């Protein structure tokens, strides 16, 4: 789960970014062991019932969950480093791309405004006769550099947004950030957004410890620099030790 402002980036938005920017497939939602997941996310039993009712009424976008991906044992170190760098990039800069995406309240899907509205869902849609794609170290570095450029120029792509908030009776269940809520931060051209105390029914726990909102800003600043330096280091490693111009 990725924090932003006083809520989170929607897991399907994170999945879309990983795919659109880096070609990395991930999955959004909840594990099969839903009660365990809800406990990890700090969702009370009564709130869980409210979520279930809202989802049954057509607001699937409210379904609580998180982004998941796997690192198979046969992956090379280069591939693993690339995936870690991509995940860290989305954690730090993902919010900058929010206004470029639309979400569907009834399905929970997030799609880029210029992207396709549907993806192949059946094996028969796959083109198995296509040549096997291959990637090199320079390909990974190029994708990371392109993503960084897009993040730094994201305010240029701002356009009038069609605001379609959730119905008022279920707004209190919203745990994710609306796309238009990131516009002000983009207009201010901020390099970092200080987190505020969570204002939603999802309160994730870390090793059974409740998060402390008093020093979230300091922790965010620390992690921002740590992640940014780590990402730069991975990019340096992926480029074969050569500095990027």
Domain boundaries, the chain: 3-112+136-157+171-238
Q: Is 169 helix (H, G, I), strand (E, B) or coil?
A: helix
Q: How far is CA 2 from the centre of its chain?
A: 6
Q: Is the pLDDT of residue 83 over 70?
A: yes
For the chain, give the longest Cα–Cα distance: 56
Note the pTM of the prediction, 2 decimals: 0.77
- Around Cβ 67, how many Cβ atoms within 10 Å? 21
Q: How confident is the model at residue 193 (pLDDT cuts 50, 70, 90)?
A: low
Of 54 and 124, the one with more pLDDT: 54
Quick one: pLDDT at residue 160?
62
């Amino acid at each position: 789960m990725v924090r932003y402002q006083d809520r989170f980036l929607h897991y399907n938005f994170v999945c879309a970014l990983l795919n659109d920017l880096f070609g990395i497939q991930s999955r959004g939602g909840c594990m099969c062991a839903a009660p365990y997941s809800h406990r990890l996310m700090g969702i009370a039993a009564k709130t869980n019932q409210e979520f279930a009712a809202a989802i049954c009424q057509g607001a699937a976008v409210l379904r609580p969950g998180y982004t998941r991906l796997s690192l198979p044992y046969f992956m090379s170190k280069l591939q693993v480093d690339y995936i870690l760098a991509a995940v860290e990039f989305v954690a730090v800069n993902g919010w900058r791309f929010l206004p470029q995406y639309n979400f569907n309240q009834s399905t929970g899907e997030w799609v880029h405004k210029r992207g396709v509205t549907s993806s192949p869902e059946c094996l028969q849609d796959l083109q198995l006769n296509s040549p096997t794609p291959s990637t090199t170290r320079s390909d990974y570095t190029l994708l990371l550099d392109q993503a960084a450029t897009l993040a730094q120029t994201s305010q240029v792509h701002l356009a009038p947004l069609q605001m379609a908030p959730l119905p008022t009776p279920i707004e209190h269940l919203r745990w994710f950030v609306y796309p238009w809520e990131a516009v002000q931060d983009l207009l201010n051209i901020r390099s970092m957004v200080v987190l505020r105390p969570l204002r939603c029914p999802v309160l994730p726990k870390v090793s059974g410890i409740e998060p402390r909102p008093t020093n979230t800003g300091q922790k965010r600043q620390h992690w921002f620099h740590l992640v940014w330096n780590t990402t730069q280091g991975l990019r340096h490693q992926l480029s074969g030790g050569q500095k990027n111009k």
